[in-house]
Structure 1
């Protein structure tokens, strides 16, 4: 499944209708959740039936396409299933009990209620709201995909306008030449990442760089009269600034993950529990700004696309243990150099990256210290890489 996004260009009246569509989808979702709360053993089919009841009871709710109403009910059932899954897994902390939505920004259609123009450059909504035709603005081309491959169309409202996301049922695969490299990656705040070869990528700190402008925009929001048109304009300007930071962070995570995956055939990274780490209020902003979780998700996704092996490793003791002798050298976060009694002196993150790779190799039954330097074989792959891939394939089945 791939997602292609386009900006919707239309008139002001059309945008107001889209807002009504989004509010209706939120109403259906909240009503479906209330029905689950008031009844026992509710299934998705029961929520589908409740959507039909709501369409008859509220005339404006009936304007929304029937499949769009079902998609809104699915959002409720997904939240319910996630809650029960967290309870079953005994997830620490809050389990995520489903809540009523207040500021929903999207509505989702399935295979009806919309249609593309013959040139696939415009999108028309055909349900009861009659939002009309919107021009699609974007760099991607929908001509490569058959109409029946588009399974869902999601309309999202953001600070800088409205967007349509097309969910297309195709598998994305890319062919690349094997590099024969296996690396470990340690992420941090000083450097965004350091790999087992000692190479580093600097931390861009998008939020920190934009913080002054964000504070100024927030002050303007606070200074305006509550509920006035000027305050709404100020809120929109603030939202645009936050949206820019979010897009910068996502773009950096994708490009960095892509470089890592393309340059190596085997990648081991630390599986950080960011949710717990942000409880440290002194580092929470910097950790959130780094977006390690987003980077890890793109590593996993691009690994599948390019046919590379990407493995998450538990981060315990990777910074404290010596990558050469294995002895534990305790150090605080402020100590950035690893100095061991065996004579090893390394950057703290470089030492951790070596330990991350060594952990995976130990799981595969390979001793990194006894391998030494290996030659590249006739297929362009090192003996180390071949051993890692062969051993890890046995472990993962």
Structure 2
């Protein structure tokens, strides 16, 4: 298969972890007979310094001409604060590249070898953790209108609007049901239907759609209870689907159950429009740019490596290749001999990458 990627390392540790993941992808491609065309471009502060904008026209055009976007990180806290919110790299670059991508998937796995790194007691995680969180990404509070701060101090007012249409709800719930059907056939829908009108519509829609998926066990839970139960019975969760704000919070909470935020991959996906066109899928590890360790070969590359596996599975349908990368990566984590500092080890970013490639070849 010919695979064409827009590779955007970005800021901080982005270049190191994306470089590590691409080494793994290239090795996999040679083993399975695929051709990878990886076209690199600037984004974030790396782009501002060279081109005067966080998302240059060339980068945008490259992404539109690619089959998938493989992204590292943007933003440097000390420099971000010198710009107005609307001009900061995360807002300028990420929101633009994610347009039309309504489904954010985060896969949180606690490998047996890292049980000691999980903040929960061993008796709560004895059955392991493997959770797929599906977050609606284009609606809700982050995009609803009206929005903003109005008036004059000391009597200013602020407003944010949470709004969802049935179409928006149905399409993300479909991703949830279809994903659950391919896993353990359990779907947990998170809302706040005892208070919010949007959640009442969400629950009604989920219940109605559940009749079309009789093989999937649908359960509803309020978001505050979901946050608590993630800590009490994380091993019982499988697929979670929820709206934008709830998903943002719950997925960050769940990421720490894996032992480090540096282990968690994510995908942003859309669907074809009426003309058959769809936005370019966007893949990124969930960690940030970590400028304090940038350039020191200390970053954990696992999140990026597992993100590459998600990309191969969801965009290119290469399940065997994705499984091979995941198997090799978790073999290294479970062995516990080659781990980066965030996991209590002393290995370098390149050292972990070497170990994953060695496991992939074995």
Q: Please say whether Structure 1 and Structure 2 have the same fold, judged by a TM-score greater than 0.5.
A: no
The structure, 1 or 2, with the larger RCO (C-alpha pairs under 8 Å, 6+ apart) is 2
| TM-score normalized with structure 1 length | 0.24
| TM-score normalized with structure 2 length | 0.26
